């Protein structure tokens, strides 16, 4: 299992010694106020090289979750013609958002996880999944739980940072919601939001941003019978592949002769955590009769 204390300890360990993560990180901020990370100075654009510095943990500076976010959404039905000429009704949700993070334009919405914790999150169509801060993970009771959490790395344009991989049972943005979402726990990149909501959530909706009313409009997409659980074959295969790769990487890491007893014990615990996540994913797949060749 991964406790919050062990999560903090392992970040420093893995940055220097693990083949799963390895490498020093440099931090820089572009003209739009976006934070990036890079493994080498050569990966940083020339104009920003004078500002690069190692990534600093900033958990103590994170904001009170959702304290300044507007909540709620309006809902209206939308009729969609089916092949038989009938109309099936889908819902449309208007969700208010905060338009700025300082001088940078953003789409920051209130998001509720597991029906209990509501925090400000950035909608990011360039992100594939969901990222949450350690602060949110702690409030959700994820650290030290029995549901599976495996240490990995989160990647972006600037490189990779240490992270923890898990699943969140429910994610809700206004009236728009989804279940069993793969999530990555990593340090927040801003004091204005607690993570990112990416395409794994938004792919079940068509959406547009109304910058005049400052709302995001989500419209439900009719379920695809070829997508069990609302996910297509590629998604299922990629989830199983990623977790098996993490399992194998940690198993290989545990066999390294240069590890001390503490490092070896932690690596073995991560093999177990990956097995827990694979088991959860397999149970979820069984609920929706996902074909075994996809797993």
Which pair of tokens denotes residue 173? 């943005």
pLDDT of residue 42: 61
How far apart are alpha carbons 141 and 5 in whole angstroms?
Answer: 13
**How far is CA 156 from its chain centroid?**
12
CA angle 215, 217, 221 (to 5 degrees): 165
Q: Are 194 and 188 in contact (CB under 8 A)?
A: yes
Residue spans per domain, the chain: 4-76+91-221, 230-294
How far apart are alpha carbons 249 and 77 in whole angstroms?
Answer: 47
How far apart are alpha carbons 143 and 134 in whole angstroms?
Answer: 9
pLDDT of residue 117: 97
Q: Are 142 and 163 in contact (CB under 8 A)?
A: no
How far apart are alpha carbons 250 and 274 in whole angstroms?
Answer: 9
pLDDT of residue 108: 96
* CATH dotted code for 4-76+91-221: 2.40.70.10
pLDDT of residue 28: 63
pLDDT of residue 66: 38
51-61 burial, b for 16+ CB within 10 Å, e for fewer?
ebeebeeeeee
pLDDT of residue 129: 86
pLDDT of residue 235: 96
- Distance set, CA 197 to CA 67, 148, 237 (Å): 18, 21, 21
Which residues, including other chains, have CB under 8 Å from residue 216's CB and lie 6 or more apart? 94, 95, 97, 107, 109, 123, 173, 207, 208, 209, 210
- Select from 167, 155, 131, 189 the least CA-distant residue to 20: 155
pLDDT of residue 157: 52
pLDDT of residue 97: 96
Show the low-confidence residues of the chain (pLDDT under 50).
11-24, 54-70, 80-83, 87
Residue-wise pLDDT for 127-168, tens only, equals 888 999 999 999 999 987 788 999 987 765 556 678 899 999
Q: Are 26 and 41 in contact (CB under 8 A)?
A: yes
**pTM exceeds cut of 0.85:** no
pLDDT of residue 61: 31
């Amino acid at each position: 299992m991964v406790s919050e204390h062990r999560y903090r300890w392992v970040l420093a360990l893995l940055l220097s010694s693990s083949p799963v993560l390895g490498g020093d990180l440099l931090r820089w901020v572009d003209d739009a106020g976006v934070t990036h990370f890079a493994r080498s100075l050569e990966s940083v654009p020339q104009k920003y090289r004078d500002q690069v510095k190692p990534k600093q943990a900033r958990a103590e500076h994170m904001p009170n979750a959702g304290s300044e976010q507007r909540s709620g959404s309006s809902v209206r039905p939308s009729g969609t013609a089916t092949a038989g000429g009938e109309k099936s009704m889908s819902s449309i949700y208007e969700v208010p958002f905060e338009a700025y993070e300082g001088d940078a334009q953003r789409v920051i919405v209130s998001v509720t996880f597991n029906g209990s914790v509501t925090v400000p999150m950035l909608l990011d169509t360039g992100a594939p999944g969901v990222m949450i801060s350690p602060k949110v993970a702690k409030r959700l009771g994820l650290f030290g739980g029995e549901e599976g959490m495996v240490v990995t790395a989160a990647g972006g344009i600037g490189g990779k940072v240490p992270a923890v991989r898990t699943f969140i049972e429910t994610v809700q943005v206004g009236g728009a919601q989804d279940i069993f979402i793969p999530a990555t726990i990593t340090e927040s990149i801003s004091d204005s939001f607690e993570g990112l909501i990416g395409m794994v959530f938004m792919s079940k909706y068509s959406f547009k941003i109304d910058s005049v009313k400052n709302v995001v409009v989500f419209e439900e997409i009719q379920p695809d019978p070829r997508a069990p659980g609302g996910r297509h074959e590629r998604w299922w295969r990629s989830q199983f592949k990623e977790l098996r790769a993490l399992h194998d990487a940690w198993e290989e890491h545990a066999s390294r002769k240069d590890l001390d007893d503490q490092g070896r014990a932690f690596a073995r615990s991560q093999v177990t955590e990956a097995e827990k996540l694979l088991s959860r994913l397999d149970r979820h797949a069984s609920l929706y009769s996902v074909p075994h060749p996809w797993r």
